[in-house]
Amino acid sequence: MTISTLLHKSRGKTAVRRAPEALAAALREVDDRRLRRRRVVAAPVNVEDAAAALAIDGRRYLNFCSNDYLGLATHPALAAAMAGAARAQGAGAGASHLVTGHGPEHEALEHELAEFTGRERALLFSSGYMANLGVAVALADRDDLVLGDRLNHASLVDAALLARTRRSLRYAHGDAAAARAALAAHAVAAPAAGALLLTDGVFSMDGDLAPLPALAAAAREHGAWLVLDDAHGLGVIGDGGRGSCAHFGLGAEEVPVLVGTLGKALGSFGAFVAGSADLIDLLVQRARTYIYTTALPQPVAAATRAALRLVRTEPWRRERLAQLIERFRRLATARGLPLSHSPTAIQPVVFGSESAALAASAALRDAGFWVGAIRPPTVPPGTARLRITLSAAHRDADVDALVEALAIAWARRVHEGAGP
Ligand SMILES: *Cc1c(COP(=O)(O)O)cnc(C)c1O
């Protein structure tokens, strides 16, 4: 059986008592495992090519790890929409959506998102993380099964935990037959209970696609809610950039709960859930991460509306991205780099050990490329990697130079025998 309980993942963290030595010891443990995470102050170099260039510690780098797949985050149209809305309506919403925080920019954006995704309605959340938590809490009951892909995003894992159901299971990555078997077993064991099937559309650390048609069929057969988190598909894949559902030709019948995020390809911030009018109304009543939090600033919603217009009117951004993905894969394959089966902007190169991934990231940095090393627990142990992402803002020459630097880092890793 390819199913294991979701709670396995709550790793043995050492308890930290209130004492300076205890904090230092906990941090040392992270260091010893080469898992310490650090932030840098990264400033876009200029508005023209900021999707591709960053200034960090006084040096300029090409950015190959953002989620700004279409190069919209620093687009002047988004900045202008944001500034205009701020001047007209102020910076902050001042209240939650259910009190007085729901403004005209929010309302218009929700209509536009519903139309864009082909759903009856859409509901804005402050982030994708919160949207996923809200959906699970609103839809799952104590006896329901909450089922998810083993490589789902952390926010879906946490959503399953927060749903506080007694039955949380994960199935092997991409294994729709295992998901279906789990739903069938649950239908026998608890015929009166419901089920939630949670999946990324495009897996965030691997770039591959979920087997959505098979998952949709299994969910439908067993009366389960299929919740699709399309954070990395929306704006990028499918006809018109409408995401994973459009890619597979699936509609609201097959995928009744669609979560989209606005901080990735759309270049702004926030998230939404799209679905039937009743689903949205129920979320308004029950989704705690919607009810008990301040509404997004209206300028953010205005910027997102500008981004949606660009997604509609500038299909060249998606075409350009597709060309760069093809170029990267062709050159990297020719240089013997081990690619995954990703057709998307996310192109991981797995180095294995934490130290090998860190060394490769440092070597790329020396060569002028910013690509973070992704380590456990974000990815499974032994699969530390460079998560390379491409953007429509990159130039051909940027990709060519990146592949050269990567090939050198990979050859060095093989020489030094790092990793498994
Ligand atoms: C980034 C991401 C989220 C979280 O979205 P935020 O708006 O950044 O909170 C959720 N799901 C997936 C798959 C993601 O990649």
Cα–ligand 1 centroid distance for 58 (angstroms): 30
- Which of 75, 264, 268, 391 is labelled catalytic? 264
Count other Cβ atoms within 10 Å, centred on residue 346.
24
Contact 91, 297 (CB under 8 A): yes
Residue of 126, 204, 342, 361 marked active site: 204
The structure tokens listed for 116 are 């864009």
Cβ(263) to ligand 1 under 6 A? yes
In 222-312, beta strands by DSSP E: 225-229, 257-261, 271-275
User: What is the CA(128)–ligand 1 centre distance, in A?
Assistant: 5
CA distance 202 to 245: 11
Residue of 97, 186, 232, 394 marked catalytic: 232
pLDDT value of residue 7: 31
Give CA–CA dist 385/378, Å, rounded: 10
Instruction: From 74, 47, 65, 41, select the one nearest 369 (Cα to Cα).
Output: 65
Distance 412 CA to ligand 1 centre (A): 33
Nearest in space to 178 (alpha carbons), one of 150, 209, 141:
150
In sequence order, the β-bridge partners of residue 101 are: none
Integer Cα distance of 35 and 329 in angstroms: 29
User: Which atom in ligand 1 lies closest to the alpha carbon of residue 263?
Assistant: 7
- In this structure, the residue with its CA closest to atom 6 of ligand 1 is 128
Measure the CA angle with vertex 207, ends 201 and 209; round to 5°: 40
CB of 273 closer than 8 Å to CB of 259 = yes
pLDDT tens string 279-326: 999 999 999 999 999 999 999 999 999 999 999 999 999 999 999 999
Where does residue 399 fall: left (phi above 0), alpha (psi -120 to 50 degrees), or beta otherwise?
alpha
Note the pTM of the prediction, 2 decimals: 0.93
Q: At what angle do helices 298-313 and 104-117 cross, to 10 degrees?
A: 30
Gap between the Cα atoms of 319 and 387, Å rounded: 21
Which residue shows structure tokens 């009018």?
277
Which atom of ligand 1 sits closest to the CA of residue 202? 13
- Ligand 1 proximity of 61 Cβ (cutoff 6 Å): no
Residues 6 or more apart from 140 whose CB is under 8 A from it?
Answer: 146, 163, 164, 165, 194, 196
What pLDDT score does 46 carry? 67
Active site residue 204: yes
Q: 106 an active-site residue?
A: no
Indicate the top mutation candidate among 67, 129, 293 to test ligand 1's pocket, ranked by most ligand atoms within 8 A of CB: 129
271 CA: nearest ligand 1 atom = 7
CA distance 266 to 221: 34
What is the 266 CA–ligand 1 centroid distance (Å)?
A: 13
Q: What is the reported pLDDT for 3?
A: 40
| Closest alpha carbon to 337 in 388, 282, 381, 391 | 388
Ranges of the chain whose pLDDT falls below 70: 1-14, 46-51, 414-420
Burial profile 319-335: b = 16 or more Cβ within 10 angstroms, e = fewer: ebbbebbebbbebbeee
Cβ-Cβ contacts under 8 Å for 28 (sequence gap 6 or more): none
Give me ligand 1 centre to Cα 261, in Å: 6
